[in-house]
Structure 1
């Protein structure tokens, strides 16, 4: 169920058991080849900024280990020199040096943070645009198979989930690595014996960190899947269509329960993600915290063994070791975060690696304007990609031609395949076999933009943005003047209605146009198409959902819009197409009859039977032209 509608169909809501199966299937992140290399490519445009960050980090890390060394000098030369009395001038110089170092480190840190934030967010912004653009290029079938909420979650939750990690990764990895190395070198200079004691268990910590990271990556993937499901539920249940459905069936409690169940699952996963690795970090913290006490014991043993260890050496060593603890913890944490972000990146690249079913050939050409309006199907076969292999094709060997300026109607029983015809002309789907010809060329050989400019589509489910009437109309022609808007609205028989609104063309129509009636929405949609002024008009059951009065008004607008254009009308109510130049009767994926309304009635076939059934249902006979 797309767009938050309340009905069923492909991509509809799934049961709790289906949701559980989906989460189980996604418990592992998708396997994406060369993932690390592809992540690195995202940062290629920012090489200069990254180089500056690296230099700043190196300088900052180098400066961070100098104060402990100055602390040793302050003790040994300033407070407790060989003469026994404190040397105040030397102590002042050393303290001033430490203050200057701290000020310089703070300034470098601010600059470094600004650069990393700008690079990280720029990369994420470009990735978000890239993903959005790629999804825009996907074929219609992708969106009928996938919940809109899940797509939104990939754009918002998954991309957002890695933004914070990457913003700080360069700074954290390089800065903490340099700090750890510099601290280890300083510790070795001060006392190689105490250094061995301080780092003996570090390899064990690194191995343990990798195991914890794998667990967190799996939990992160499950968490994102749960967020996707919550977004989908929200988008379905809280849209206008969803609210109408739940209220009309008094199913608010069921929707609340559905959201509550997924919310509880999200809470459980968030707690698991927050707690994963906490015992590991607790043990690391304990280990690093007790090292100073062990160092004191080792220092005492070294002094007793007549090794030259001064008080300044012990103080400086424990200070450096304390400074080692936080960058080491930071490295372990960023390693875990990177493993988590790899799982999220895998989900993003999974969508980026989807290949659109409908693409434009490198040598695609523009529509031949000298043949505009001519449409033909040549032995067209079509099967939906996700249809069972054993099911018959939706269209089977369909052939017909429509000449420029002709009004052609397609009628037939539900599920006969007539709507599929309207989707193949503008290339919303590609034919499985045969050819769809537009202006004499196979549509697969034409530029998509040129094809779209030549065709105007009005569907049964009119979509209006939550914007003003004028903004919705200008979607077809952004630079249209107010006079052009009014001219199109008059032609669609909607100007008087718009003028009666207090705000006129500045009236906000609400989500999906729900502040307007069905007939008003359809006429605005027709006005939008008229503003586009296409050579071919495709009408997909544009009046089937309207009442009789609205249908008559909209039909008048359609008749006006069809004048001088090639028109393909997919019709459910046969009374709307009795005046068509040619009527094609589709049944079982084939064209079984064609002709004018009087000819088909006289033939006494499928069309005559459908017409008689509709007359009997309506209880009255519409006047045939």
Structure 2
């Protein structure tokens, strides 16, 4: 129940509406009871009293109650839907906002499909249980209490036959509840795995087709579905026994009531109308009993969903503002890395004793073999991670002591795999500065050599880029990313192999745009392109997490160390390609 108490803040803003829906649905239940009792009187009027006037009045009252029931039902249905959808939206926004605050390390350890499943599927299960179930339970409560009250007044002996079922129903519910909860959690986990598989295959559909792996992916998907199907069928088997067992017990009592009541009618102790109403009441009470079993199963399922969602909400970001953090002043660009060490896994260090200093406006390049720690070092400079040892300072401010937003606003990252968001070209360039005017966007696009190709698209700056920019070439996406960075006007620029995946013509346009962007800014570049490295003011050569060489292109070539080897190797590859 701890999870449900934690959900209560999302219910509080809508408690008046929930109470209103509950009152309406309780009124519906009360009208239903009145209709049943009126049906008993009407039966006696027709079969015993033979009174036409009384029958007409009773039928008129019956129709009036039916109309009132319909009006009340319409009101509670709309109000219940309004409340549940608002709570669903609020909670999803809360979970999504928390996800965005989490550090990169969280996402590195989890698959996207699993996170999506928790945000969409599990939240829907929770919403249904905590909003619709209580309102429906209010209806069932009125039905149960009112029905039992009518039955006690009419014939307490008959009523006790039904009430004897209650302890047995609770026992059956407890027996099945634990099994249902574990199966529901397993099904939700499997659904997340299947969603992840679909997301991966669709994201990499070109690779799947190119390597002729469609049948393999179909087999993987079918295997995941078979596992989910087996779990779902096991839960269905439990439910198939659970609900009919309770229903059978309820109808057994109803049969006993019919036998005992019928004998009393024959003996003249009870009127036919009373027995008719009593049987109807007994039938109505099946609803609360059956609903109790169903609600119990839903609660167990929601507990599994809550456990998964609150696992995310209980995860605290590793990178966050300290209570005494200050806003980062306007950056000049003096960066100092002092004896920095870092490891994603404590058993496998990535960086060891890394130290260097960069002056404002200086362009430095990180070079080294794959796995040397270049991208990790850029992540530390951006403060996507904190070093496990040492410190990173900008203009004398330890990055751990400044507020993240104030730091990020003055840094721009242009990665190799450019991320464009669904929407127009204009939306993507404005991503870092929503308030920018179209003139400012056009100026940034010109600086990024993007303006001409943008005008050549069907709708210019309002052309939709497609999912992840699928409608644009690699070079065009890269130039849009540069335009986005130009518009942001950062003081520190980070380029993560920004031209390594482009053809020569695209690289020339992108490199020209980058030269304008880097002017007057402290710039860190991870690059395999020889031209980019040659223009660097200084080059840091990394190997196995350490800086093994430092200098200009000329001095490093004269030293004939690792940089000379990597540069010569790359030059030979280019000559072989040509």
TM range (shorter): over 0.9
Q: CA deviation at 1:568?
A: 1.0
CA distance in 2, matches of 1:541, 1:223: 42
Q: Post-superposition shift, 1:223?
A: 1.8
Residue 63 of structure 2: aligned partner: 99
Q: Alpha carbon RMSD of aligned pairs, Å?
A: 2.3
Change (3 A) 1:502 1:129: closer
Structure 2's unaligned 5+ residue stretches are: none
Tell me the alpha carbon deviations over residues 574-615 of structure 1, each in whole angstroms, 9 at most, x when there is no partner. 431212222222222222222222222233333233223323
State the alpha-carbon separation in 1 of the partners of residues 225 and 497 from structure 2.
40
SS of 1:594's equivalent? strand
Alignment of 1:140-219 (within 5 A): 140-219=104-183
The Cα offsets for residues 299-322 of structure 1, whole Å up to 9 and x where unpaired, read as 355578x78323332222112112
- 2:16 — aligned with what? 48
How far is the alpha carbon of 1:333 from its aligned partner? Answer: 1.3
Cα distance change of structure 1 residues 514 and 52 upon mapping to structure 2, 3 Å threshold: closer
Q: How far, CA to CA, are the matches of 2:322 and 2:537 in structure 1?
A: 35
Q: CA deviation at 1:502?
A: 4.1
Does the 8 Å contact 2:41/2:274 carry over to 1?
Answer: no
Q: CA deviation at 1:530?
A: 0.5
Is 1:276 matched with 2:238? Answer: yes
1:433 matched to 2:385: no
Partner SS for 2:432: coil
Instruction: Tell me, yes or no, if the aligned pair for 1:491 and 1:527 is still in contact at 8 Å.
Output: yes
Q: 1:66 to 1:551 in 2, by over 3 A?
A: same
User: Superposition pairs for residues 185-584 of structure 1, below 5 Å?
Assistant: 185-239=149-203, 242-299=204-261, 301-302=263-264, 308-369=269-330, 371-384=331-344, 387=345, 389-391=346-348, 393-584=349-540
- The CA deviation at 1:358 is 0.8
CA contact (8 A) 2:265 2:275 kept: no
- Segment of structure 1 superposing worse, 331-340 or 514-523: 514-523
CA distance in 1, matches of 2:325, 2:276: 75
In structure 2, the partner of 1:616 is: 572
Q: Is 1:593 the equivalent of 2:549?
A: yes
Alignment deviations for residues 405-453 of structure 1 (CA, whole Å, 9 cap, x no partner): 1111121222111211111112111111211112321111112111111
Q: Distance in 1 between matches of 2:405 and 2:438?
A: 26
Paired with 2:452 and 2:263, the residues of 1 have a C-alpha distance of: 99
Aligned to 1:364, the other structure's residue is in SS state coil
Q: For the residues of structure 2 that align with 1:109 and 1:186, how far apart are their CA atoms?
A: 23
Could you say which residue in structure 2 is the equivalent of 1:115? 79
- Give the whole-Å Cα distance in 1 for the aligned partners of 2:417 and 2:262: 84
8 Å CA contact retained: 1:121, 1:167? no
Counterpart CA distance in 1 for 2:251 and 2:466 is 60
For residues 327 and 106 of structure 1, the distance between their equivalents in structure 2, rounded to whole angstroms, comes to 20
1:485 and 1:299, CA in 2 relative to 1: closer, same or farther beyond 3 A? closer
Q: Distance in 2 between matches of 1:500 and 1:171?
A: 57
The 1-side partners of 2:58 and 2:234 are apart by: 48
Equivalent in the alignment of 2:26? 58
Query: What's the TM-score, normalizing by structure 2?
Result: 0.94
The answer to which of 279-288 and 525-534 deviates more is: 279-288
Shift of 1:109: 1.8
CA contact (8 A) 2:18 2:135 kept: no
Following TM superposition, where does structure 1 have runs of at least 4 consecutive aligned residues deviating by more than 4 angstroms?
300-304
Deviation at 1:356, TM superposition (A): 1.0
> In structure 2, what is the equivalent of residue 4 of structure 1?
none
The structural deviation recorded for 1:119 is 1.6
More helix by share: 2
Aligned residues: 577
**SS where residue 336 of structure 2 aligns?**
strand
Report deviation, 1:108. Answer: 1.7
| 1:508–1:293 distance in 2 versus 1, CA, 3 Å | closer
SS in structure 1 at match of 2:499: coil
Using structure 1 for the length normalisation, give the TM-score.
0.87
CA, structure 1 residues 70+503, in 2 after alignment: closer, same or farther (shift >3 Å)? closer
Contact 1:172 1:334 in 2 (8 A): no
Q: C-alpha separation between the residues in 1 aligned to 2:466 and 2:550?
A: 42
Q: Provide, for residues 228-272 of structure 1, a one-character-per-residue CA deviation record: whole Å limited to 9, x for no partner.
A: 122111111112xx1111111111111111112212233333333
Contact 1:411 1:574 in 2 (8 A): no
Aligned with 2:36 (options 63, 68, 88)? 68
CA shift in 2, pair 1:259/1:462, >3 Å? same
Aligned-pair CA distance for 1:515: 3.0
3-state SS of paired residue (1:380): strand
Secondary structure at the residue paired with 2:247?
Answer: helix
1:586–1:39 CA distance, 2 compared to 1 (3 A): same
For residues 114 and 502 of structure 1, do their structure 2 counterparts lie closer, same or farther at Cα, with a shift above 3 Å needed? closer
In 2, the alpha carbon distance for the partners of 1:509 and 1:313 equals 72
Task: Note closer, same or farther for the CA distance 1:390–1:338 as it changes in structure 2 (3 Å cut).
Answer: closer
| Unmatched tracts of structure 1, length 5 or more | 1-32, 621-625
